């Protein structure tokens, strides 16, 4: 085990003894600690926690920061957008789980005494997250016939969460996001005419939502863990905010999340009609297709600007990463997608 792993394992052992003593006892053990490759902005670690004859499969989700407690560079488009923090992220995830959303149970949130930075530990779930497998493997053929409907039901459950339970959530409606992403885009000093067109199109058609809801902010193929039977967990809650519930439906339909299956606008696996039907059948209220299309356009532009953020993060040396460099090259894809949407 490398020195970094040893330090993290030691810190986790102490944190487990503090937070889960009733289950694992005062001298728990951490085994099989390994960092997962998923995620461009946060650290994700897999491990088993042992004690009192119990073995708990765990996942640590942590902001990129050193064990010394030094602040990490702000490389996450999510953290900079919502300032939710890992404690807030964990609270949203747990509230969604209690509302019926398939999500991992939060076991505890790290605090300053743990000395491990910002993060939380959740129960480990098993399933498939790789989009190309979900979209192409025979094992998931039956799943693909109802996954869009399942996504609609899941979003209706999420949007039923009482926002008063989550006072840390920022309000991020269309007006706030247009201002924010417009400023980020212009700050790069790299004009993209299609982005300018999209910003004007969105500003001209902006309207207030019918209601405000707890919005996931990144609900898409790639942030779903599935099994052949259905959704097992919704992942990556760091972009959660208070906003228009139609935003989540529109984001799921962005072309980039179809992974080549462009004739299936919902995540590459389904049709909008099935998504809307699942949402309405689960009590999400009536779907406004025009609002969903608005957010699909917005999501396409937003993803393009996020790609620019990650390009800058890599090229500036703030967070050198092959993954960020590769994602940065996808700006041109969003230009084509916007042209298709706006013409």
Per-residue pLDDT reduced to its tens digit, 180-220: 999 999 999 999 999 999 999 999 999 888 899 999 999 99
Statement to judge: residues 107 and 137 lie in one domain: no
Is this model's pTM higher than 0.85 or not?
yes
With bands split at pLDDT 50, 70 and 90, how would you rate the model's confidence at 81? low
Last residue of a domain, one of 65, 91, 123: 123
With bands split at pLDDT 50, 70 and 90, how would you rate the model's confidence at 16? very high
Statement to judge: residues 172 and 42 lie in one domain: no
Helix, strand, or coil here: 99? coil
Statement to judge: residues 212 and 336 lie in one domain: yes
Statement to judge: residues 90 and 205 lie in one domain: no
Statement to judge: residues 35 and 136 lie in one domain: no
CATH code of the domain containing 66: 3.30.200
Last residue of a domain, one of 77, 96, 123: 123
Statement to judge: residues 116 and 171 lie in one domain: no
Q: Residues 6 or more apart from 106 whose CB is under 8 A from it?
A: 90, 93, 94, 97, 120, 121, 122
Statement to judge: residues 155 and 178 lie in one domain: yes
Residue 42: pLDDT over 70 = yes
Total domains present in the chain: 2
Q: Residues 6 or more apart from 53 whose CB is under 8 A from it?
A: none
Token pair recorded at residue 334: 């969003």
Statement to judge: residues 274 and 137 lie in one domain: yes
Statement to judge: residues 286 and 314 lie in one domain: yes
With bands split at pLDDT 50, 70 and 90, how would you rate the model's confidence at 40? low
Q: What is the pLDDT of residue 330?
A: 84
Domain residue limits at 9? 3-123
Helix, strand, or coil here: 191? coil
Statement to judge: residues 205 and 90 lie in one domain: no
Last residue of a domain, one of 102, 123, 144: 123
Cα–Cα nearest to 167, from 95, 219, 80, 245: 95
Statement to judge: residues 81 and 159 lie in one domain: no
Cα–Cα nearest to 13, from 2, 27, 1: 27
Statement to judge: residues 97 and 143 lie in one domain: no
CATH code of the domain containing 263: 3.90.1200.10
């Amino acid at each position: 085990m490398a020195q970094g792993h040893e330090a993290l394992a030691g810190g986790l052992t102490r944190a487990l003894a503090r937070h889960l003593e009733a289950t694992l006892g005062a001298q728990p053990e951490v085994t099989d600690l390994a960092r997962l490759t998923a995620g461009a902005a946060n650290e994700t670690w897999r491990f088993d926690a042992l004690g009192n004859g119990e073995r708990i499969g765990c996942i640590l989700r942590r902001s990129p920061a050193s064990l010394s407690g030094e602040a990490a560079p702000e490389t996450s488009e999510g953290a900079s957008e919502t300032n939710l923090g890992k404690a807030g992220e964990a609270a949203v995830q747990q509230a969604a789980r209690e509302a019926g959303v398939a999500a991992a149970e939060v076991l505890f949130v790290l605090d300053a005494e743990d000395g491990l930075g910002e993060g939380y530990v959740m129960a480990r779930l098993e399933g498939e997250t790789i989009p190309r497998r979900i979209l192409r493997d025979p094992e998931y053929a039956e799943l693909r016939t109802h996954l869009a409907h399942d996504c609609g039901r899941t979003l209706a459950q999420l949007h039923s969460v009482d926002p008063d339970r989550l006072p840390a959530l920022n309000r991020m409606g269309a007006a706030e996001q247009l201002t924010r992403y417009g400023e980020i885009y212009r700050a790069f000093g790299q004009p993209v005419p299609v982005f300018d067109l999209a910003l004007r199109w969105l500003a001209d058609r902006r309207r207030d939502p019918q209601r405000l809801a707890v919005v996931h902010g990144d609900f898409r193929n790639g942030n779903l863990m599935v099994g052949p039977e259905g959704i097992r967990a919704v992942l990556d809650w760091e972009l959660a905010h208070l906003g228009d519930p139609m935003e989540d439906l529109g984001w799921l339909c962005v072309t980039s999340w179809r992974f080549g299956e462009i004739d299936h606008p919902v995540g590459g696996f389904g049709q909008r009609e099935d998504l809307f039907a699942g949402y309405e059948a689960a009590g999400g209220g009536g779907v406004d297709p025009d609002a969903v299309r608005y957010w699909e356009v917005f999501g396409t532009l937003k993803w393009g600007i996020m790609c620019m953020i990650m390009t800058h993060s890599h090229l500036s040396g703030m967070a050198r990463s092959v993954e960020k460099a590769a994602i940065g090259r996808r700006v041109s894809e969003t230009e084509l997608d916007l042209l298709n949407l706006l013409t």
